[in-house]
Amino acid sequence: MPPKPVRIAQISDLHIKPPGQLAYGRVDTARAFERCVAALNEFAPRPDLVVISGDLADTPTMEEYDYLKRLLAPLTLPFVGIPGNHDSRELMRSAFPEVAYAFPSGALNQRVEIGGLDLVLLDSSVHGKPHGELDALSLQWLEATLASSTERPALLFLHHPPFKTGIWHMDRQNLRNADELAVIVRRHPRVQLIAAGHVHRATLTMFAGVPAAICPAPNHAVDLDLEQLREPSFKVEPPAFHLHSWFAGERFGSVVTHQVPIGTFDGPHPFFGPDGKLL
């Protein structure tokens, strides 16, 4: 029997407001997150871990993190989170004091070992700014962390995409020092995936020779405006999360990402009847 794959559910951009408040006066992000938690709990087989790739809160305030914790309480899966531009390092540190961050202050980077896999969670947030940047200590830590093994595959998670999406108002607030990240990624072939958030929509490209994806959100999506046709806008599109499965195998094994829609849909229905014939 081949070993069981490691399954990582990635959710992103929860934007939890204080109870009763809507994001942008329109989106009930708390109800959307409740539906996301229910979908994660119901998913079979159970993911081994949930990674929340930033923008857990919205303003941010401690009241929002307290509410987030209440909304997370029904989640039956372990989870880890990294900050986005709508988060506060200090408030997240107080809200989740049990987390083993790499540094006692500053960036909330973490390395998580899970099965034969390393997850490297990078804090790309810049206090008070919408764009992302990996500070010098984080880059040094990333280099040292990746250099600590040449054999274990690693998945990198960070909030800000280190690449352009073609959505102009998001591209001006992506990861500013993507070139510095690229130099490190190219030095370490064990990096198998770069998984980001921030844009609230499923996006796929290559970065420094590695597949790189953006995870959709459980609430609203950034409008797919690829020609500056409209003011920066959002659209309530079908919500979803990403499920990254890592299969052990030759060299670094393989990673496959599925997009999982959140909601109730017709099915599953069998293709074949009891006689084995197609229905």
Per CB under 5 A, residues contacting Fe ion are 55, 84-85, 198
Cα 175 from chain centre: 15
CA distance 152 to 107: 24
CB of 163 to Fe ion, least distance (A): 15
* Pairing of β 6-11 and β 49-53: parallel
Tokens 């909304």 belong to 71
What are the tokens at 225? 């405006």
Smaller CB distance to Fe ion: residue 124 or 145? 124
Smaller CB distance to Fe ion: residue 188 or 198? 198
Residue closest to Fe ion (Cβ): 198
Smaller CB distance to Fe ion: residue 146 or 240? 240
Smaller CB distance to Fe ion: residue 17 or 188? 17
CB of 23 to Fe ion, least distance (A): 12
Residue 240: exposed, middle, or buried by beta-carbon count in 10 A (0-12, 13-18, 19+)?
Answer: buried
Q: What is the largest CA-CA distance in the chain?
A: 64
Smaller CB distance to Fe ion: residue 48 or 55? 55
Phi, psi of 63 (to 5 degrees): -60, -40
CB of 188 to Fe ion, least distance (A): 26
What are the tokens at 269? 């229905």
CB of 220 to Fe ion, least distance (A): 12
Helix and strand numbers, DSSP H then E, in the chain? 6, 15
CB of 55 to Fe ion, least distance (A): 4
